[in-house]
A and B are shown apart, each in its own frame.
Chain A
Amino acid sequence: MLSTYRFRLIAYTILLVAFLTATLVYTYIYSRNVILEEAENSVTNTALLLNGNIEMEENELLHYAEIVRDDLRIKEYVFMIVKVGTDEEALESLYSRHYGWLPVKRRIILGNNGRVLLGSEHQDLARALVNHLEISSKPIFYTQSGKGLEMITWAPISYQGSRLGVVALTHAIDNVWLKKHQQYSGGYLFIENDSVILQSSLPGAEGEKFELNSGLLDVNEESYQIRPIVLGGSNDNIAHLWYGVSMRDLLEKLERHSRIVLLLTLSGAFAILWMGLIIVRNFNRPLTELIHITRAVANGNLPVMNQTQEKNEIGILSNQFAEMLQALREKQEEIDRIHQELEESAITDSLTKLHNRRYLQEIFPRLLAQAQRDHLFLSGILLDLDHFKQINDRHGHLAGDQCLTHLAHLLRETSRANDYVFRIGGEEFLILSINDSHEGSRLLAEKIRSSLEQSPTAFKDTIIPITTSIGVSHADTSLPPDEGLTNLLYNADKALYQAKTKGRNQVRMYLQMDDHAPSAWDYVS
């Protein structure tokens, strides 16, 4: 049982399912950690990406400032204001005409003495710029502007070898900026100062406390993975920019992943199980059939095995086995036929096709037992062709054979289906017939004699009249078979002798004393 392929296949399938399940369970558990780790990395990477974007914005803004700075007209106008002392209106007009299109929030040009040459309405920006220039030469810095931040880039303006002032341009990092960057970051942006959220792309977060707990920010009953966005040139005194991703979103992603893993696990297990069953079925069925058939063959049977349409190795093996069985069956049939022919030839006379003496000895005990069991008479009708030697001498042996064949045909035609006809000598024939009286056998003998008398043998162009002498006897059922047969033939032969001696072409019966006749032997014509 355990060594069968069926068992092995089932075992392999179960092992495979178990392995797959274990692998997927491990994958699920491991992937959960990986997802959480990757989520944290993703937050960090997105924060870095935002940093990169901000750097690009800074460089772009600085580039704009340098374009304005490098414009000769700007320099000349600033020169006129600074050196000649004219008013700033012309500079405003020039800037609006040529640089009004620049995508900046505010612009300002400061003279060396801190005088605002352009953008006098932005005094706060002027102060921030002056303060920055006093402590730093970095061309990019940030200030807090209301609830948001302001990116500021500046470039010095020089003309005829002397520095006249600086031009500064700004970008606002406000709600609009936060929402714009949220669109591609996938998370939320927070501007925080003194542990309070000043602005955020997360609705309802403004004014909430900004407190980190194990690296997580709790806002509105939700936790966020949080990372700082580094703003170059900013100091700790201004608000900070943060990027965060909702843990709920992460967990939802994780749950989604777990559902996918579970679905994959179940699907995989079911698929393997199903495939295993198919393999077992496809592999086991033909093997089982082969086993049954080989067992039948071993028991001497050659059952019919149908051809299969399967083209695989087992199918080919089955078909070859079926062909082998068919060949064996055909051989067996041929052997049986030959055997039967041999058997028949052993008990059949080759000339007349009637049973021979050997078969007489074989069948007699059975017929005798039947007669004994049924309380019937087993009669023996012994025939001998009259003057057969003369026929042979006159017409030849072929004619004699023809006469014998003719007689055999007539005996077959005349006798009953359950009668047995034997050729027991050269021209001697015997019919064993079971009857309920002696009269039946006598009538049969007479009928045969009469028929033969009336149907001469035709041999070539010659009509050969033939007759037969017949002696009838019946078996003594009290005797053993061998003895009974000898007794029967002996008595029939006596009766035949009587027929021969009384003139041939007649029937004589030999009856026992206790049957009908008053004497021990009665010969009836």
Chain B
Amino acid sequence: MLRSLANRISTVFFLLAGSMMLFGATITAKADDSNENALMGAGAHFAWIVFDALKEDLERATGRDTILFGENSMLGVGCNAGIKAAKQSTIGHETFGFVCCPLSDEEIEKHQLIVYPLAKEPVLILTHKSNPVDDLSVDQVKGIFRGDILNWKEVGGNDEPIVLVTRLHCKKRPGHWKTILPSDKEFRQERLNVKSASAMVQRINDFKSAIGHTGSTWKFKHDDQVKAVKVGGVAPTAENLKNGSYPFYRQMSAITSRNPTPDVLKLIKEAQTGPAFRRVAEQYQLLPLNPMRQVSMKK
């Protein structure tokens, strides 16, 4: 009788286990199916904002789902993650990357990448809204970041010590903050060095005498007490980037491996030349680096 009972329990157990395995396999298959059909991108937060804004247009252009990673690059997702995503692309698992800074030639060669420039992005010089200084010359900006100028009164402001906030990321890549000072060694030592753009904005919110920098593709909150000053009387706009009057900027790009799939190429092409990107660029004062493709008026 006991043996019969044990057999029955074993049967029920194996049936349950089998059902669960089948169920789990179905879910995994569904997840895999959805991932297999998607084009996945990862990279820097600033570029992510652009791609995220374009997501629907990109999916329409490729006919495939697009999955993006990069919001709030604090969690190990940044330019390096973009490079990694570009390298990992395989058939059936098509990925691409996006970076907020221009890559060095050595880096491109080392990782066997193709870079697809998207836009130039102004690097904003941020101060607290209460700071009366609205305009700084290039030299004044450099002097402040270098530590030559320590008080706002030296540039026409209040008699307040300058609190310098920096985010010296992507140190081995050209461009970006290096347009202010070419080396992190040149920056003033008594500074707040933050790890993220949000921390940068928060510090400037906290210190009324702070100055910092960040890309223009940042979604400021309505209660942020932060403003971008003009540099040499020039506002950080796409137009001023285009005419070369605004000096601080960086280049935003998409990157792929050396053998990108047609759909990835199609996606990047749409990002580079599609009309949607133009709207996003206008919103964030980005200067597109590729001409917009001709759009048929027929709909």
Contact = CB atoms under 8 A, between A and B. Distances in A.
Given A83-B190, A84-B190, A77 B206 contact: yes
A6 B190 CA distance: 107
Given A85-B161, A89-B206, A94-B206, 18 more contacts: A76-B192, A77-B192, A80-B163, A80-B192, A83-B190, A84-B161, A84-B162, A84-B190, A86-B161, A86-B163, A87-B209, A89-B208, A90-B163, A90-B206, A90-B208, A90-B210, A93-B205, A93-B206
Interface string B31-51: 000000000000000000000
A178 to B, nearest CB: 39
Interface string B194-234: 00000000010111111000000000000000000000000
A72 to B, nearest CB: 10
A86 B190 contact: no
A79 interface: yes
Interface string A85-105: 111011001100000000000
B190 A90 contact: no
A331 B264 CA distance: 129
Interface of A: 76-77, 79-80, 83-87, 89-90, 93-94
Contacts of B163: 80, 84, 86, 90
27 contacts: A77-B192, A80-B163, A80-B190, A80-B192, A80-B207, A83-B190, A84-B150, A84-B161, A84-B162, A84-B163, A84-B190, A86-B160, A86-B161, A86-B163, A86-B209, A87-B160, A87-B208, A87-B209, A89-B206, A89-B208, A90-B163, A90-B203, A90-B206, A90-B208, A90-B210, A93-B205, A94-B206
Contacts, number: 34
Contacts of B205: 93
A85 B162 CA distance: 9
Contacts of A93: 205-206
Contacts of B206: 77, 89-90, 93-94
A86 B207 contact: yes
Contacts of A80: 163, 190, 192, 207
Contacts of B192: 76-77, 80
A464 to B, nearest CB: 97
Most buried by B among A76, A89, A90: A90
B151 to A, nearest CB: 9
Contacts of B207: 80, 86, 90
Nearest to A84: B161
Nearest to A89: B208
Nearest to A94: B206
Interface in B136-173: 150, 160-163
Contacts of B209: 86-87
A352 B194 CA distance: 151
Nearest to B199: A73
Contacts of A84: 150, 161-163, 190
Interface string B167-191: 0000000000000000000000010
A93 B128 CA distance: 14
B161 A79 contact: no
B157 to A, nearest CB: 13
A69 to B, nearest CB: 18
Contacts of B161: 84-86
Contacts of A89: 206, 208
Interface string B111-140: 000000000000000000000000000000
Nearest to A77: B206
A89 B150 CA distance: 19
Interface in B75-133: none
Nearest to B204: A90
B201 to A, nearest CB: 13
A89 B190 CA distance: 18
A99 to B, nearest CB: 14
B56 to A, nearest CB: 36
B146 to A, nearest CB: 15
